[in-house]
Amino acid sequence: MKESNNSFDTLVKNIDDLLAPCLAQDWPNLPVDRAEGCYVYGRDGRQYLDFLSGFGVCNVGHNHPRIVASARDQIDEGLKIFTEAVLEAQK
């Protein structure tokens, strides 16, 4: 990438360096605002079926509530353990 700024405009400007050519042609035309289940939603509010989702998304969808809750629980537990370890080390 030519710049270190990670703004949307910078990403679009450098898209050819970041994505496969077939994806680079269409991706800037669909800035995604959010994703739920098997759909992504453009900034214009339109809903699109996500044919390019990753392996995990293919199985459970974007932002599956049980997966999000589990990830949050794990982060909370991990942060608690980390904080306790730091406090113990400082004694």
- In tens, the pLDDT along 8-31 reads 788 778 777 776 666 556 655 667
Residues 6+ apart with CB under 8 A from 62: 35, 36, 37, 38, 39, 40, 50, 53
Residue 43: predicted pLDDT: 84
* Owning domain of residue 74: 31-89
Q: Is the distance from CB of 36 to CB of 60 less than 8 angstroms?
A: no
The verdict on residue 6 lying in a domain is no
Residue 3: predicted pLDDT: 46
Q: How far apart are CA 24 and CA 75, in angstroms?
A: 34
Q: What pTM, to 2 d.p., does this model score?
A: 0.46
The verdict on residue 37 lying in a domain is yes
Quick one: tokens of 20? Answer: 């496969």
Per the structure, how many domains does the chain have?
1
